[in-house]
Chains A and B, each alone.
Chain A
Amino acid sequence: MKRPVPTAAAALATKLRAGPDGFIRLQIDERDWIGLAMGCAQGLQDLLALWVDDDAAHMGLGVPALKLRIIVSVPLKRGSFPSVAKNHPAACRLERSIRDLHGVEPKGLPDQRNWMDHGKWPSPPPSLKKDAARRDAAYAFLATEGEGLHQIAVGPVHAGIIEPGHFRFSVNGEAVVRLEERFGYTHKGIAALCKGADIATAARIAARISGDSTVAYSYAYALAIEAALKWRPPPRAILLRGIMAEIERLSHHVNDVGAICNDASVVVLHAHCTLLREDILRTANQCFGHRMMMDRIVPGGVAADLSAAGAEAIQALLARCATNFEAVVRVYDEAPSLQDRTVSTGNVSAELARRFGAGGHVGRASGRAFDTRLNFPYGPYEALDFAMALHAGGDVDARVWVRIEEVRSSMALIRQMLKLLVPGPLMSVMPRARASEGAAMVEGFRGDIFVTVRLDDRARLVNFYARDPSCFQWPLLEAAIEGNIVADFPLCNKSFNCSYSGHDM
C-alpha cells in the first residue's frame, strides 16, 4: 500500500451524485480510508459517524461549506479495518464501542480499553463475531502522578436525579487536573434490538434512545426510513414535525438555562424556568397528546394532528414564553454574581470544537458555525428563515447565550410554521418495500443526530445505527473542566447537558 496522505472527501466525491437522502455513497480502499481520517484531523471534513455493518466499516463525512455529505465504506479484512482514531482522536470511543459490540478490530486503535462491555453480559451481543474474544471487566483509568494529587470518584449513581456514568477527577487542592469519563452503564443493545424488527417496532425503540430528544430521534429515524423507501410525507406532516421539534428544543433550552443558574445558586431563575418548561409540556400534551410528544413523528408522516384550538394554545404559549423568558434573561444579563460563575468557566477552544466536530450549543458557543437545520436543511427548514446562534467565548456563559438565542429563534420558527400550516393528510401510503438504505441528520436540542438504516425487501431492518451528538461533546467536557475548581463541575456539565443514554445506546 502506498503511504496514505491527508485526503479531502470533496476530492473523492467529484462528479458523484448524492442519493435521495443527500449522502454520496462510495466504496474506497484502506489507503483512502486512512487518508480521509487524516483529512478529518486537518479540518478538511468533519467526521459525522462511524459504524460497522456485516463485512464493511462505514464512515459518514461532512463538508458543510460545500453542502457535501458522503458515506465511505471499506471492506473488513480478516475482521479488521484501519483505525480512524489513530489519526483522528474524535473516533476513539466510537471504535472502542465497535470492538466491544462487533469484535471487529480497528487496527492501530490507540486506546485498547473496553467501553460498552463492562464484562457483565452473560451472553455476548448478537452482533459480536463468533470467534471474537470477550472483553475483560478490568478497567484502568489513566494515571496521574504528582505531589498532592488525589482522586475523586463519582458515579455511576450520582447525587441528583440524573443518568448514570462515572467521572474520575484527579484533583490538586480545588483544581481539577484531569477528568476522565467512563460510560456504557445505560447500554441497552438498541442496534441489536432493531435488527430484524419491522419499521413500526424500531420506531418505538428509536424514540427511546434518548428520552429528552425523543422528537428529534423519531424525526431522524423517519427521515432515514423515508429516504430508503423514497417515501414522501405530506406537507402538513412536514410542518407539524418542525413544530414539535422546535417545541422540544424550547422546553430543554429553557430548562437548562434555569438549571445552569441553579448550579450557580440563583434558585429563583431555576424556579421560573421550570414553570416555563411545565407550561411548554402541558401545551404539548394538550396539542399532541403527550407531554414529550413521544411516538408522534412516525415514518410516512405524523401520528397526531394539531387542531385549530391547539394552534391557538401554542400562540398563547409563545406569548407567555416571550415575556417570562425575557424576564429571566434580563436578570441573567444584569447579575454580576451569576456571571462571575459562568464567564471564563469551562472553556472549550474553537480548535477542539472543530477537531471533535462538536455540534449543538457546545460547538456553536466555541465558534463552530454548524447547525444541521441551516447547513443541511431538511423538511420545513428548507423554507424557513432564521439566523444561527453563534458565539466565540467557548465558556459556560457563551453556551448560555447560544441557548437563549435559540429559544428566541425556536419561537420565531414555530410562528412561521403555524402560518404556513394548511389542512391536509397526516400520513402518506408506504411505497413497496425493497432492499435499500437511507441516512439522515436532524438537529436536536443538543446538536446533530445521525441515523442510518438498511432495509430488506420485506421492510424489516437489516441494520440500524445512530450517533448521538453527545459522542463528540462528552470528550470536550473533559477538556473544559481542566484547571477549573471541582465545585464548578456541575455548572460546566449542565452547560453541556450531554446524554448518557444516547451515547450508550
Chain B
Amino acid sequence: MRSLLFKSLLEGSAVIAPPQPGSAAVTELAEALGQQAHARLGRSLAIREVDAGSCNGCELEIHAINNPVYDAERFGLKFVASPRHADVLLVTGPVTWNMRQALERTYAAMPSPKWVVALGDCAANCGVFTGSYACAGAVKDIIPVDLHIGGCPPPPLEILKGLLALVNEMTK
C-alpha cells in the first residue's frame, strides 16, 4: 500500500486542464434557462443520475468523469444519492414504459429550482430503439429538458463540457 501511495505522490496528478464549456450546450442553455439562470447556487451542482432504460454505455462514461483524469468534483459537480438533494437530474436511455413512472417520481421528488440534462442519443430521440412498443419516448417527451448532451455514448470530455456550460449559465 505504501509503495502505491508514494507512487501517486511522486508521479504527480493525472488530471487534465479544464475544458471550455461546450458551445452548443451554451446556446441551448441560454434559450432554455432564460431568467432562471440567476438562481443562487454558487458554483456547484448536485446531480442525481437516472438510467431510464439505457444500455449502460452512457453510465460507464458518466462514471468516467469522476475518475482522476476528468475529476468532475473540482468543478463543483457532485453526484448525490437522493433526488431530494439534487439540482440536476441527469437522464440516460430511451424512457421505457417500465421506467417512466420511476423517472417522473424522481423528478417530482427534486426541490425547485431544478434542471434536467438528457444524456446520450437515446435520451434525445430514442436512438436505435425508436418505434419500440416498450419505449415511452425521449426524455423531453416525459419531463422538461434543459440540455442535451449527444453521443452514443458521449465521451467523458463532452459530458464535462456540457455540465460545465450548465454550471456557468446557471450561476451567471
Contacts and interface: CB of A to CB of B under 8 A. Distances in A.
Interface of A: 118, 120-126, 156-157, 159-164, 184-190, 192-193, 201, 204-205, 208-212, 214, 268-269, 271-272, 274-275, 277-278, 281, 285, 291-292, 294, 327-328, 330-331, 334-335, 499-501
Given A120-B97, A125-B134, A161 B53 contact: no
Contact of B55 (A120, A209, A328): A209
Nearest to A269: B4
Contacts, number: 154
A499 B57 contact: no
B150 to A, nearest CB: 14
Interface string B129-154: 10111110000000000000000110
Contacts of B56: 163, 210-212, 499-501
Contacts of A160: 79, 81
B55 A211 contact: yes
Nearest to B57: A211
Contacts of A335: 1
Contacts of B117: none
Contact of B133 (A189, A204, A210, A501): A189
Contacts of A201: 128
B53 A157 contact: no
Contacts of B97: 118, 120-122
Contacts of A285: 155
A186 B4 contact: no
Given A157-B50, A185-B102, A188-B94, A268 B8 contact: yes
Nearest to B63: A161
A157 B48 CA distance: 10
B36 interface: no
Contacts of B153: 211, 292
Contact of A161 (B49, B99, B101): B49
Given A157-B50, A160-B81, A209-B55, A189 B60 contact: no
B20 interface: no
A189 B132 contact: yes
Contacts of B63: 161, 274
A376 B96 CA distance: 36
B51 A163 contact: yes
18 contacts: A120-B101, A159-B82, A161-B51, A161-B79, A185-B99, A186-B54, A187-B98, A188-B129, A211-B54, A211-B153, A268-B8, A274-B63, A275-B14, A275-B68, A291-B61, A292-B57, A294-B57, A294-B152
Given A187-B134, A204-B128, A335-B1, A164 B51 contact: yes
A160 B14 CA distance: 24
Given A208-B128, A211-B153, A268-B8, A278 B57 contact: no
Nearest to B103: A157
B167 to A, nearest CB: 19
B57 A212 contact: yes
Nearest to A186: B53
B10 interface: no
A126 B29 CA distance: 39
Contacts of A162: 51, 59
A160 B128 CA distance: 26
Interface of B: 1, 3-5, 7-8, 14, 49-64, 66-69, 79, 81-83, 93-94, 96-102, 106, 127-129, 131-135, 152-153, 155
A292 B152 CA distance: 10
A186 B93 contact: yes
Contact of A210 (B55, B61, B62, B132): B55
B98 A211 contact: no
A270 to B, nearest CB: 9
A156 B93 CA distance: 14
Contacts of A281: 64
B149 to A, nearest CB: 15
A201 to B, nearest CB: 8
A427 B98 CA distance: 39
A459 B147 CA distance: 40
Given A157-B83, A161-B59, A211-B55, 9 more contacts: A156-B102, A157-B106, A161-B51, A186-B54, A188-B94, A193-B129, A208-B127, A211-B56, A292-B57
Which among A164, A212, A275, A334 has the greatest number of chain B C-beta atoms within 10 A? A164
B3 A327 contact: yes
A164 B82 CA distance: 14
Contacts of B135: 188-189
A124 B133 CA distance: 7
A205 B128 contact: yes
B134 A275 contact: no
Given A157-B50, A188-B134, A501 B14 contact: no
Contacts of A120: 97-98, 100-101
Nearest to A270: B67
A211 B58 CA distance: 8
Contact of A164 (B62, B68, B99, B133): B99
Given A124-B133, A278-B64, A281-B64, A186 B96 contact: yes
Contact of A268 (B4, B57, B83, B96): B4
